Structure 1
């Protein structure tokens, strides 16, 4: 695992130390990792909301042909067989 060194002002360092003590984190690194995970989760949620909105704005759904998924499976199998 690569290490990353960050610099914090004294007030920020004090805040992180308080969060570690109050939040049950084992270290400042654990706290920062949790913040990063939370941010990644929020970004993924925002993307999902955006994609849902685009889907809703694209108009009503259209029915698929009865053999749609069978054709997709065949197409995928053909690609895999041609790639080997």
Structure 2
């Protein structure tokens, strides 16, 4: 794990120290890692919501056919084979 130094105003530093002292976190690093994880999850959720809205706004759904499923399976098999280096 690599280190990263950050500068904080005194009020923020005090706040972080209070969070650690309150027993929620064992170190300031653990507190910051949790903040980053929370931000990553938030951004992932925003991206998912955007994709879902895009799908909903993309037009009327059409039934999927047996031919569509065959095409999907063929594309997946081709991608798997490519990743396994056999093509």
Q: Tell me if both proteins adopt one fold, taking TM over 0.5 as the criterion.
A: yes
- Give TM class, smaller chain: 0.7 to 0.9
Distance 1:10 1:50, change over 3 A: same
Task: State the superposition RMSD in angstroms.
Answer: 2.0
Superposed, which structure 2 residues align to 1:2-81 within 5 Å? Answer: 2-22=2-22, 24-78=24-78, 80=81
Number of residue equivalences: 84
- Provide TM-score, normalisation by structure 1: 0.84
CA shift, 1:20, in A, is 1.5
Unaligned runs of 5+ in 1: none
* Superposition TM-score, scaled by structure 2 size: 0.81
Point out where structure 2 has 5 or more consecutive residues left out of the alignment: none
1:17–1:45 CA distance, 2 compared to 1 (3 A): same
